[in-house]
């Protein structure tokens, strides 16, 4: 009896999710929860917000899982949906973000005293500290590789605003990084 490959196992799982089987949906959720959280944490300001985006994304996934083309990468499809869920979340809450500004208190409270080594979580925290519009522009451009016209279309803003938000995000990140961990940061320079 031959072993089934992870790909065929995933395919079977997705097929069962297409039929609306709750056990399979839970299994799929369980398998990709960590990956989805990894994506969504970058787009949110805290864990609770990320969880909400993950669940919004999974609801979309289960509702439209029949649209997922067989043969294409499920993980890439899931990532796109999570990013779109994050964009939707941003739009829904946009009006509450108007006066968002990073305070020095927020930076100090969020990073450890020992600045010599920044962990993955601490670097993530820096991105989370960005104002939401800047964070979104930075993630879409620098991490996901979208171009400004694509970002502008997705967010309903102008290309100029997208560029401006990215520049401001970079400046904020530089400021925070220089303030916290100059040594480690310098090796990239």
Is the separation of the CB atoms in 141 and 168 below 8 Å?
no
Per-residue CA distances from 135 to 52, 100, 129, 138 (Å): 17, 12, 8, 5
| Chosen residue from 54, 82, 111, 151 binding other proteins by CB under 8 A | 54
Question: Tokens in use for 13?
Answer: 């799982």
For residue 42, give every residue at least 6 positions away whose Cβ sits within 8 Å of its Cβ, in sequence order, or none. Answer: 124, 127, 128, 135, 139, 143
Q: Which is nearer to other proteins, 3 or 95 (CB)?
A: 95
What is the rounded (10 degree) CA torsion for 39, 42, 48, 53?
-50
Question: Is 106 one of the binding residues for other proteins (CB under 8 A)?
Answer: no
- Which region among 4-12, 55-63, 97-105, 152-160 touches other proteins (by CB under 8 A)? 55-63
Q: Which is nearer to other proteins, 2 or 69 (CB)?
A: 69
Q: Which is nearer to other proteins, 107 or 123 (CB)?
A: 123
Question: Is 77 one of the binding residues for other proteins (CB under 8 A)?
Answer: no
Rule CB under 8 A: which residues touch other proteins?
18, 20, 22, 25-26, 29-30, 33-35, 37-38, 41-42, 48, 51-52, 54-55, 58-59, 62-67, 92, 120, 123-124, 127, 138, 141-143, 170, 173-174, 177, 185-186, 188-189
């Amino acid at each position: 009896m031959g072993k089934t490959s992870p790909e065929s196992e995933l395919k079977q799982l997705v097929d069962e999710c297409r039929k609306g089987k709750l056990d399979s949906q839970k299994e799929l959720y369980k398998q990709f929860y960590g990956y989805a959280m990894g994506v969504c944490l970058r787009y949110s300001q805290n864990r609770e917000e990320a969880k909400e985006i993950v669940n919004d994304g999974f609801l979309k996934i289960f509702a439209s899982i029949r649209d997922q083309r067989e043969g294409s990468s499920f993980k890439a499809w899931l990532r796109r949906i999570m990013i779109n869920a994050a964009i939707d979340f941003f739009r829904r809450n946009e009006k509450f973000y108007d006066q968002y500004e990073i305070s020095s208190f927020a930076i100090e409270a969020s990073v450890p005293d020992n600045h010599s080594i920044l962990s993955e979580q601490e670097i993530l925290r820096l991105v989370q500290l960005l104002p939401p519009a800047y964070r979104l522009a930075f993630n879409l451009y620098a991490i996901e590789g979208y171009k400004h016209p694509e970002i502008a279309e997705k967010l309903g803003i102008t290309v100029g605003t997208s560029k401006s938000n990215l520049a401001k995000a970079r400046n904020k990140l530089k400021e925070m990084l220089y303030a916290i961990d100059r040594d480690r940061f310098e090796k990239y320079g």
